[in-house]
Amino acid sequence: MKNKKKFKSVFDREMEDPEFRRLFEEGWPAFQLEVQLLNALERKHWSYSDLAKVLHTQKSAISRDLKSGGIRSASISRISKMAQALGLKFLPLCISEKQMKKFLPIIKRLAAA
């Protein structure tokens, strides 16, 4: 049997760099939040303009918050209002690293449901 070489993806190679891994892991929760809000927009068949109308704000503000990591600079109040308008409940949660390892898989399953 021939020895098959396993090729690493660009992402796998990047993740070997500790600084890249740290930045990726730091930004991952915000990315997941953006995806949840964008998926909720799709389910409601809403555009950014529709969400902006409900929130009494400008489309550009919604675009800023939901594009390319913009959610990281949005206030908790703003995120909560967006979630509520989309039929979601925003639940900020602070837990210890030890608890995170235990509960993160459960939270991910709940968020995906």
pTM attached to this predicted model: 0.76
| 38 neighbors 85 (Cβ within 8 angstroms) | no
Tell me the three state secondary structure of residue 93: coil
Q: Is 29 left (phi over 0), alpha (psi -120 to 50) or beta?
A: alpha
- Distance of alpha carbon 44 from the chain centroid: 18
* Tens place of pLDDT per residue across the chain (113 aa): 566 667 788 988 888 999 999 988 888 888 889 999 999 999 999 999 999 999 999 999 999 999 878 898 899 999 999 999 999 999 888 888 888 888 888 877 877 76
* Dihedral over Cα of 27, 65, 88, 92: its sign: positive
Instruction: Return the amino acid letter for 29.
Output: P
The CATH class that applies to domain 10-112 reads: mainly alpha
Domain boundaries defined on the chain = 10-112
